[in-house]
Structure 1
Amino acid sequence: MNVAIRYAAGSDIGCNRENNEDSGYAGARLIAVADGMGGYAGGEVASSTVIGSLRSLDTDARKDDLVDALGRAVAEANEKLRLAREERPDLSRMGTTLTAMLWDGESVALAHVGDSRGYMLRDGELYQMTQDHTMDELLKAEAEQAGQQADPAETSRLSHVLYRVLDGREDREPDLRLRDAQLGDRYLLCSDGLSGPVDAQKIYEVLSAEADPQRAVDRLIELARDNGGPDNITAVVADVVESEHVTGPGTPLVVGAAANA
C-alpha cells in the first residue's frame, strides 16, 4: 500500500513578542519545527538556518537510510550555525530547538532536540513522541532512577532551562529513532508556545475534531493566543493517507522566520 502525507503549517508571533523566532516546514516527505533563541535576530537566524538546511531532505529517500540521512542533515545544520556564529559575534548566544520527521512510505524517522514537541494521534489516543530536554525533566529522570522524588520547587524553577539545543557547538546530538506510520495517523509538531498554554487534553480534542489539517493548525494557534500567547506559536500537522488521496506533488509550506529568510 502506497501512503503519503497531507500537511498544513502555521506560525504566529503570539501576544507578547516583538518578533517571531520560530520556523516551520511541511512538505511531501519532511515536516519540522524549530524554536529559536538568543536575543533579537539571533533566534530568527538560528531557526531559519536549521529549517533552510533540512529542506534538502524533502526529496526521495531510501528507507534503509532514513535515520542516518536525518541525523547527517541535523549535524550539517548545526555546522552552519557554528559558521554563522564565527562570522557574526552578535549571534554568539543563538540556538534553536528542532523536532523533525522524514518519511519514506510507511517508515518515518524522528529527530528531536530541545523542548518543541511531537505528538501522534492514533486510534483515538494521543501520544507524546518526544521528551523535553529541559533541566526539570532531567532531574525527574535522575530521581526516578535513584528511586526518589525530585524536589517540586526545584523542577518548577528549571522547567524552561534547556540542557540540549542546536547552537553550533560540538556534541549536539538529537534523539533519533525510526517509527512505523499507519494509515489514519495524525502527527503534530509544535513549539512550546503551543504546548505550554494549551494542555494535552485540548490538543487531543482539536486534533480529533478538526478533519482538515489547516483548520486544526489554525484552531490550535487560536487557543494558544486565547490562553495568553506568551511566546511565538508554531504548529505543523500531517495526516497519513493513501497516496491516491493526495493530488499532485503539493507545494512545500515554510512559516515563521524561515519564510522571511
Structure 2
Amino acid sequence: MTLKLRSAGTSDRGLIRSGNQDALHSGTWLVAVADGMGGMAAGDLASAIAIGAVAPLDVETPEDVLVAALQNGIQLATERIRQAVAEDPQRQGMGTTLTALLFARTGSCLALAHVGDSRAYLFRDGVLKQITRDDTFVQMLVDQGLITPDQAGSHPRRAVVTQALQGDEVSPTYATMVPRAGDRWLLCSDGLSNVVRADTLAEVLAGQPERDACARHLIDLALQAGGPDNITVVIADVLDEP
C-alpha cells in the first residue's frame, strides 16, 4: 500500500468584495492557495501568476528534490510578478500570499512552502494544528508577547502582511514532514481563518468526510460570519491506497 493525496478545493468572493483575488490549485501531488493584494486587477493577476508558476509541480517528484522544486516555483512566480509590474507601472505594489504543499511520488514525504498569511493546518488523530506561521504585523506582536493570539484576531492591523510575493526578494518558509494515513490538510486564505474559530474548523474537518462538502461547509461558515473577504479552501486527505 502507498500513501496518496486526494484533494478538493473551492473559492468564494464573499459578501463584501466586488471580485475574487484568491486562486487555488487542487491536484494529485500539489495543493496551493494564493491570496492576491494591491488593487483589484493586480491582485487577481498576482495570485494567478503564483498558482500558474507552481501548478506544473503537480507531477511525481522524488522526495529529495521536493523543497528545491517549491523554491524554483516561487522563484519563477517572483520573476513573473516582477515582469508584470515592469509592463504596467500601475501594478506597482501588487502581490500575493502563497501556501503550497507538494507530496512525494513515494508517499513517504511532503514539503510545504509558505509566504504571507494564508494558512496550512494539519488535522491528525483528532487534533488540529496550524503548521504555517503568519507573516503579519500582529503575529510579530504576538511573538514579542505584546498581545495575545486572541487579541490578534480582532486587532485593527491584522491584515498588514509583512511578507508576500511582490517581485522582489523574499524569504519563504519551507518545511518537510512525514505524512500518515488519515491525515487531513486544510489550506485556506485568511477569509476563512480570520472569521471561523480553530475549534470550529476542527469540528467540520472531523465531521465531514467528503472533501468537496467539507470545503463548501467551511465557506458557508465564513459567509455566515459576514464573509468580509474572499474565501478559499482546499481539503487534502492522505489515504492508504494500493
TM-score normalised per structure 1: 0.88
Identity of aligned residues (%): 43
In structure 2, the partner of 1:165 is 164
Question: Which of the numbers 217, 220, 223 marks the counterpart of 1:222?
Answer: 220
In structure 2, the partner of 1:255 is none
Following superposition, the deviation at residue 198 of structure 1 comes to: 0.7
Measured in 2, the distance between the counterparts of 1:188 and 1:34 equals 14
Q: Write the deviation string for residues 141-177 of structure 1: whole angstroms up to 9, x where unpaired.
A: 2x2xxxxx4157x96243221110000012x121001
Map 1:1-261 onto structure 2 (within 5 A).
Answer: 1-104=1-104, 105-141=107-143, 143=144, 149-150=145-146, 156-170=155-169, 172-244=170-242
Measured in 1, the distance between the counterparts of 2:31 and 2:158 equals 26
Q: Write the deviation string for residues 3-62 of structure 1: whole angstroms up to 9, x where unpaired.
A: 111111000000001000000111110000000001120110000010011111001111
Residue 150 of structure 1 aligns to which amino acid in structure 2? L
Q: Secondary structure at the match of 2:205?
A: helix
Residue 112 of structure 1 aligns to which amino acid in structure 2? H
Q: Write the deviation string for residues 227-261 of structure 1: whole angstroms up to 9, x where unpaired.
A: 000000000000000233xxxxxxxxxxxxxxxxx
Residue 80 of structure 1 aligns to which amino acid in structure 2? R
Task: Indicate the structure whose relative CO is greater, using CA pairs within 8 Å and at least 6 residues apart.
Answer: 1
Measured in 1, the distance between the counterparts of 2:17 and 2:64 equals 42
Check whether the contact 2:195–2:225 (CA below 8 A) recurs between aligned residues: yes
Could you list the runs of 5+ residues in structure 1 that have no partner in the other structure?
144-148, 245-261
Paired positions, count: 236
Query: How much is the aligned-residue C-alpha RMSD, in angstroms?
Result: 1.3
Following superposition, the deviation at residue 139 of structure 1 comes to: 2.6
Following superposition, the deviation at residue 72 of structure 1 comes to: 1.5
Measured in 1, the distance between the counterparts of 2:214 and 2:147 equals 37
Q: Write the deviation string for residues 50-79 of structure 1: whole angstroms up to 9, x where unpaired.
A: 001111100111111111111111111111
Check whether the contact 2:63–2:108 (CA below 8 A) recurs between aligned residues: no
